[in-house]
């Protein structure tokens, strides 16, 4: 277990490992939330939102919100902090 995620909710740790698996060499992940829901087995976006904010509050993840051309919210870009994303 990563020391960065020690003490976090098991769901937050699961999401961290899913994101770590999807991350590019710079620790960046840009996938639709539907893909993260499938990868975690969760049924609703509220769980995803809650767990990503837990990771952000713990300092292991930064979230960049994006906007679509039409003005709506685009997919978030997640950046894993630290050197253990690979």
- The pLDDT tens digits of the residues spanning 32-85 come to 999 999 999 999 999 999 999 999 999 999 999 988 888 888 889 999 997 655
CB–CB of 25/86 below 8 Å? yes
pLDDT digits (tens, 9 = 90+) for 1-35: 466 778 899 999 999 999 999 999 999 999 999 99
Q: Is residue 35 part of a domain?
A: yes
CB–CB of 75/33 below 8 Å? yes
Q: Is residue 56 part of a domain?
A: yes
CB-based contacts of 83, cutoff 8 Å, min separation 6? none
The total domain count for the chain is: 1
Range of the domain at 61: 10-80
Tell me the CATH number at 22. Answer: 1.10.10.10
Reading the block at residue 31, the tokens are 């996938």
Q: Is residue 86 part of a domain?
A: no
As a whole number of angstroms, the distance between CA 72 and CA 74 comes to: 6
Q: What is the mean pLDDT of the chain?
A: 90
Q: Is residue 74 part of a domain?
A: yes
Q: Is residue 2 part of a domain?
A: no
Q: Is residue 72 part of a domain?
A: yes
């Amino acid at each position: 277990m990563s020391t960065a995620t020690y003490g976090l909710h098991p769901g937050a740790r699961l999401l961290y490992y899913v994101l770590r698996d999807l991350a590019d060499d710079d620790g960046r992940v840009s996938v639709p939330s539907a893909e993260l829901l499938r990868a975690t087995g969760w049924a609703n976006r509220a769980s995803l939102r809650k767990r990503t904010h837990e990771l952000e509050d713990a300092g292991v993840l930064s979230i960049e919100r994006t906007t679509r051309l039409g003005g709506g919210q685009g997919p978030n870009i997640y950046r894993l902090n630290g050197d253990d994303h690979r």
